[in-house]
Structure 1
Amino acid sequence: MVSQKVVIKNPTGLHLRPAGELCKEAVKYQSSINFSFKGGTANAKSVLSVLGACIKSGDTIEFICEGEDEEEALKAVVGAVESGLGE
């Protein structure tokens, strides 16, 4: 299991478009990819889970990856968030 915290830079937080981009990146990997935010944990491969977390700009989330390609998965999702998820 590997994990890393990342700050959301998108000015409008993780609304539908960036949430979709995050999920698109996450589903490329076999590992389970979850994130923790405000005491809860959600599946990063589910757009509804990402939207349901109500993540705003400046919030910090922690990705938790577990599985055979966990290192690559963590690097990819953190990189996607840091690059702004297409915005």
Structure 2
Amino acid sequence: MRSQKVILKNKIGLHARPAAIFVKKARNFDSEIIIKKGIQEANGKSIISIMALGAMKGDELIIITKGSDEDKCIAELSNLLEFMEEEE
């Protein structure tokens, strides 16, 4: 199991479009993916679950991965969240 803290920089937070981009990428991995915001947890492969976190710009998220490709998974997903920008 691996975990990584990430500060969300996307100006509109992790809402519909950014969550969909994250889920599309997450579904490429075999590992289980959990996103934590405080005491809340979300399935990283479920757009509804991610949106329910209500993650906004500046929030600290923890990505947890568990599985055969957890190292690659956590590296790519944490990088995606750190550098994700919403199109204008």
> CA separation in 1, counterparts of 2:86 and 2:21?
7
Quote the residue 2:19 is aligned against.
Answer: 19
Give runs of ≥4 in structure 1 deviating > 4 Å. Answer: none
Q: How high is the TM-score relative to the length of structure 2?
A: 0.93
Q: What is the CA distance between 1:36 and its match in structure 2?
A: 1.0
CA-based RMSD of the aligned residues comes to 1.1
> CA separation in 1, counterparts of 2:26 and 2:17?
14
Q: Mind listing any 5+ residue stretches in structure 2 that lack a counterpart?
A: none
Q: What is the CA distance between 1:15 and its match in structure 2?
A: 1.2
Q: Which amino acid aligns with 2:20?
A: G
Would the alpha carbon gap of residues 40 and 85 (structure 1) be closer, same or farther in structure 2, given more than 3 Å must change?
Answer: same
Q: What is the CA distance between 1:40 and its match in structure 2?
A: 1.7
Q: What is the CA distance between 1:43 and its match in structure 2?
A: 0.5
Quote the residue 1:30 is aligned against.
Answer: 30
Query: SS where residue 72 of structure 1 aligns?
Result: helix
Query: SS where residue 9 of structure 2 aligns?
Result: coil
Q: Where in structure 2 are the equivalents of 1:48-87 lying within 5 Å?
A: 48-84=48-84, 87=87
Identity of aligned residues (%): 34
Q: What is the CA distance between 1:44 and its match in structure 2?
A: 0.8
Q: How high is the TM-score relative to the length of structure 1?
A: 0.94
Q: Is the 8 A contact 1:9 1:58 kept in 2?
A: yes
